[in-house]
Structures are given as structure tokens and as C-alpha cells.
Structure 1
Amino acid sequence: MKSSLLAAVAATALGLATTASATELRLSHQWSNKDIRHQVAQIVADEVAAADVDLDIKIFGSQSLFKAREQYKPLSRGQLDMTVFPLSYAGGQQPAFNLTLMPGLVKNHDHAARLNESAFMEAIEAKMADDDVMVLVHGYLAGGFVGKDKCITAPGDVQGMQTRAAGKAFEQMLAGAGASIASMASSEIYNAMQTGVLNAANTSSSSFVSYRIYEQVACYTPASDFALWFMYQPLLMNKSTFDGLNEAQQAALMAGAAKAEAYYLEEAKKQDAASAEVFEKAGVEIASMSQEDFDAWRALAQETSYAKFVEDTPDGQALLDLALAVE
């Protein structure tokens, strides 16, 4: 009697575990739960839960499941279901993805939104599909420049300066403008500025604020009507996992994704404006980039970063042309 009861309990537990594994999706990312990218993931998870379609999304933040740059391969292999991921991190697997962190390719957030609906993004998504990956939520985050002693808006402003750039393509462009490049994590900018190792830097709006760079600089050029630094950081999903869900579950995911994407765009804009306010309040001069400045940077990028991308990437010129065709 006792053994049959234990067997029944075990069978029930096994059945529950099977149900849980069939309906639970694991979502990984590298940020804290205060970050905009976590909030994007949380919106999708909350909307799916509210839809009551026997689907649960469990979020693993702060690199607790996979390291920041090591999420794309497990996603493509079905070892991970979802991730919020800077796509250029996977540029080693798919060189085309390097275009999603390329100077001057995106001028502002509304332009980024148009790129997300373009033939360029269709081509990038086709590359992802080859890896069994699909996009649920599109999103770009922006960044700007700081100068220790002066403002940086045009290429001539960085000549002779020791500069930190966010990404290899930016390093190539800034070197072309006559800057010396010091490669380091954004978390190291503060000390490098303080000790005189750097006198200029380029990173995201959120990093400038979270690392208190306003304490070390005289001028900040935030992302506004024009900016150079835009990084594509979508919410991705394993395509086979999505295809294996029923119609109600897929519909709930897509509805949640649409809500999250609208939030992402508006919050990204707010993040740039908020960073400018923080710097201004700290007594830092705020500069802005003009159309003329942006055009000069893009012309320089054509000769440096873009040329190197085309040289290194199969069908690179065709992909670049698709991106540049989006006004």
C-alpha cells in the first residue's frame, strides 16, 4: 500500500515536471533588474503570464545563466530559449551582425525604428534564421561623447586626443580622425579620465551616468537629433522553440513583444535626455551634433569602418547599401 502510494506521488511529480518543462521558457541577459533591457523582457513575460496560455518565461539576469557574450550559440542550438542580446557580440559567428554597431549608420531613434522595418533588417533576420534564431523585440540604445577639456562634435575635435571607443568599428573611425585609441571597458573610463590616460570617450548614455563620468569631464555630447553610437540590442528567441508552441502561445508572445517594443523605443529616447540632464546638473557643458557634423563623421566612416567591414564580410557591400538606403 505504502509503495503504491509513493509510486503514485512520484508519477504525479513526474507529470508536473513534464508540464513545467513543456511550458517554461528560459530567458537570459547580462543586466540588473533595473535596466531597460530587463524591463523589456519583463513586459513580455508579464503579458504572456496574463494571457493564461500555459506558458511561463523565467528570466535569468546579471549573467546568471550564460556570460554576456556567450548567449548566441546556446540560443541557436536550442539550449536557451530567449535572450536580450547586443547582436554585434555574435559578429564572430555572423560578420554581417557587425553592421548593428557601426558609426553613423543610425542617426537617431526614429531612424533606428525605420531601419527595423527595412529590407536591411530583413537581410539581418535572414542571417539569424540560418542559425535558428528569430527577433521578438527590436531595439537600439544610443550613446555619445565626452571630452575632458573640450567638446566633441566633429571629426577634427578628436585629433591628437587619447580616446576610448565603444566597439572596433568606432576605434577604426576615430583613428582615421587622428585620435589615439585606448581600449578598455566602460567601467574603466572614470579612472582613466582621472589619471590622464584618457581625455575623450565614447559609450552608451546609461554607462555615462551609471559610472559617474560627469565628475571627470568638461563637456558632454549626448545622443539627440544626431548621434553616431547606436547599438542594436533585440530580444531574440530560438525559432524552433517558437514554432513548437501552439497558436495561442505564439499570439501571446507576439502581443507582449509589440508592447515591449513600443516601450523600448520611448524609454531609449528618455534615457538619452535624462543623461543630458544629469551632466548639466553636475555643471558639465552640453554640446550637440549638427547635420553637417554627422555627415562629416559618416564620410570618415565610409573610408575607415565601412571599408573594413566590406573587405571582411561576404556580401558586405550589399548589406551596407541596404542600411544606407534607409532615410
Structure 2
Amino acid sequence: MKHAISRLLIATSALGLCATAGAETTLRMAHLWPAGSAVNQDIYQAWAKQVEEESNGQLHVEIYPSQTLSKADQAYEAAANGIADISVTLQGYTAGRFPLTEIVQLPGVVNSAPQGACILQSLYDQGDIAGEYEDTHVLFLFTTGPAYLHTRDTEIKSPEDLEGLRIRRPSEVAGEMLDSMGAQPLGMPAPDIYTALQRGVMDGLSFPWEAMKVFRINELTNYHLQVPYYAGAIVATMSQAAYDRLSPEMQAVIDDNSGMAWSLKAGQVFDMLDKAGREEAVAQGDTIHIVEDPLDDPDWAEPLKQGTENYLKRLEERGLDDAHAIYEKALALRDQCEA
């Protein structure tokens, strides 16, 4: 009997050790991109795989794409409140919540997604916008490539052609510029655009080429104007409580997969998709017009410059006295990040 009890205790102890050795923490990641998209697979799944490998399986990332865990306009707060352990979303979905971050969305700042990623991550790393994220643990920040204007039935060449058109706005900043040119800006998350355009709820939208492909909007549009008047800022961030619950060793794994390296990886994926999205529109035989330098263009310069100045002045009226300085720094980083 004694030997049987002894064997049982040994077996129970062994089982306990196995449970400890095999214990893992599951981190739930919420984002808005489709599960089958390259954005999900080449950025978020790739990040999850690397974190799992470097933690020797102790960290497992469970991905919830297509707003299945949190709506896009609530995703940041979901991370802040612990509803999601990690959220990836565009700051423009929460108007006024990230005013200094949205400076990178202004016309003329971002020429490509890798450059925009470098600019935005640098502003965060150097403390210029870090205060806007104090309620979460930021992993990395990046941007889309330049967003353009895409319409179903109306050819756009000048600001006057936007008069009366219902155009989906990507952010409050971009919406104001559309409004100043006579358009009727509509706000909605990216996954809802296809149905709205299909049903005639809107006439067009502002999107990077990447999103035109990822969300299949090229299928519904015929005209495109490459006037780079904004770029979308994106944040991948973690619940501070979820980060704090990790052991120092697991926190180090997260830290090793944060910052500029992953920011640039994300930017490169978006850049690749921008090229693919444009090629898709060309293959369809769509009409594409290009405004090479909008800030010096006789038609587009005035509304874009005025919209930029209006936004910066409004930030200063809110007490953000460094708004112009951060804008100038973003322009300086633009040149450094392009090198």
C-alpha cells in the first residue's frame, strides 16, 4: 500500500511539472483586416509566429480578424480596457483621440508606407507623440501608403469635380479637406465600404491602393485620382495589464518584437500591396489620373495647404502648442526616412 501511494505521489508530481513546463499564456489580438489578407498573414500572423517561437511556446497569439473581437472604432479602447490583449487599428477611427499622431496624415508628409512607418515610429520613439498612448503598451506604429480618390461613376480631375459627391472619409482631418472642396464626407469602417458602395450609399472613397485590393473595392470603381492628400496612421498596441502579467522573460520577448523593426516590416507589406492594388486597377482598364506634386499644383495646392493650416491651428487652440513644431519635425523625418 505504501509503495502504491509513493508511486501515486511521484506520478502526480510529474504531472504537475509537465503542466508547469507546458503552461502558456494566450494573447487575443483584434484587428479589422480580413483573415485571408496579406496584411493579416504577412504582418499579424508573422508577428504571432515569431513571438510564439521566441517564447518557446509559452506565448500563444490568438488572432481575431475582421472586427470579430472588437469594432474598429473601439479597438484601441478594447486594449486599454483589457477586452483585447492586443489591438491593431487606425487612429483616425477615434476622432480627436490622437491629434498629434494624425499630423502624419496631413498632405505631403508621407510618400510611401515604409517612409510613413519610419516617420511615425520615430515621433513615438523620440517622445513627440508618446503621451497619447500612456494607457496602453505600444508595440509598433506604422502607416498606409498615400491614399487617393476613387469613384464608381464620376471622373475626378480637379477639386471642383468633388462637388456634391458622397465620399467616404478615412479620418476627421481628411473629411474636413473633402468638405472644403464641396464633397459630402461619410464616415465608416473599411470593412463596411464594399456594401455601401455596391448599394449606392456613396459615390466614392479615399483609400490607399493597398486597401483597394485587400477590401476588393477595385471591383466596384472605375476612376482613380492619385492625389496623395493623406496617409492612414496605424497602431499595434497591448493592454498594459496583459503586459504586466507576463514574466520578465516573456516581457522581453514582446519587447524584442516591438519598435522600428516591426514598424518597417509592416510598411514594406503595405508598400507591396500598394503596387499590387494599382496593378489590379490598371489590368481592369480603369481610368487613372495622377497629380504629381499636389502641394505645388495650381488646382490642389490651396485647399490642401489651407486644410493643413486649419488643422494645426485647431490643435493649438486646444492647447497643443507644439503642433506646428511636430509637423515641421515630421517633414524633416520624411527626408531622413526616405534616404
TM-score for both structures, normalised by structure 2: 0.74
Q: Are positions 1:34 and 2:39 aligned together?
A: no
Note closer, same or farther for the CA distance 1:189–1:113 as it changes in structure 2 (3 Å cut): closer
Report if the CA contact (8 A) 2:105-2:232 is conserved: yes
CA distance in 1, matches of 2:31, 2:163: 37
RMSD: 3.9
Match of 1:113 among 104, 114, 117: 117
Answer whether contact 1:27 1:81 (CA < 8 A) is retained. yes
Select between 161-170 and 89-98 the one with higher mean Cα deviation. 89-98
Shift in CA distance, 14/36, structure 1 to aligned 2, threshold 3 Å: same
Q: CA deviation at 1:117?
A: 4.4
- CA offsets 1:165-196 (integer angstroms, 9 cap, x no match): 22222121111123233445556656666676
| Structure 2 CA distance for partners of 1:261 and 1:78, relative to 1, 3 Å | same
Deviation for aligned residue 1:198 = 4.3
CA distance in 2 between partners of 1:171 and 1:221 (Å): 17
Aligned residues: 320
Contact in 2 for aligned 1:41/1:235 (Cα 8 Å): no
**Is 1:230 matched up with 2:236?**
no
The equivalent of 1:326 in structure 2 is 333
Q: CA deviation at 1:263?
A: 2.9
Partner of 2:268: 266
Q: Among residues 283, 286, 305, which one is paired with 1:299 in the alignment?
A: 305
Which residue type is aligned with residue 279 of structure 2? E
1:233-278 deviation per Cα after TM superposition (whole angstroms, max 9, x unaligned)? 2221234544554554344334444664343121111111111111
- Point out where structure 1 has 5 or more consecutive residues left out of the alignment: none
Partner of 2:5: none
The corresponding residue for 2:47 is 44
Letter in structure 1 aligned against 2:308: Q
Q: Secondary structure of 1:42's partner?
A: helix
Q: 1:299 to 1:93 in 2, by over 3 A?
A: closer
| Shift in CA distance, 319/154, structure 1 to aligned 2, threshold 3 Å | farther
Task: Supply the distance in 1 between the matched residues of 2:331 and 2:64 (Cα, whole angstroms).
Answer: 34
Q: Judging changes above 3 Å, is the alpha-carbon distance between structure 1 residues 239 and 37 closer, same or farther for their aligned structure 2 residues?
A: farther
In the alignment, residue 233 of structure 2 is paired with which amino acid?
Y
Kindly provide the CA deviation profile for residues 100-140 of structure 1, in whole angstroms up to 9, marking residues without a partner as x.
65455433324313313434663222321x21x23223221
Residues 155-174 of structure 1 aligned to structure 2 (within 5 Å): 155-174=159-178
* Contact preservation (8 Å) 1:221, 1:288: yes
Deviates more, 1:187-196 or 1:169-178: 187-196
Percentage of identical aligned residues: 23
Whether contact under 8 Å (1:38, 1:61) holds in the other structure is: no
Distance, in Å, in 2 between the alignment partners of 1:64 and 1:51 is 27
Deviates more, 1:209-218 or 1:134-143: 209-218
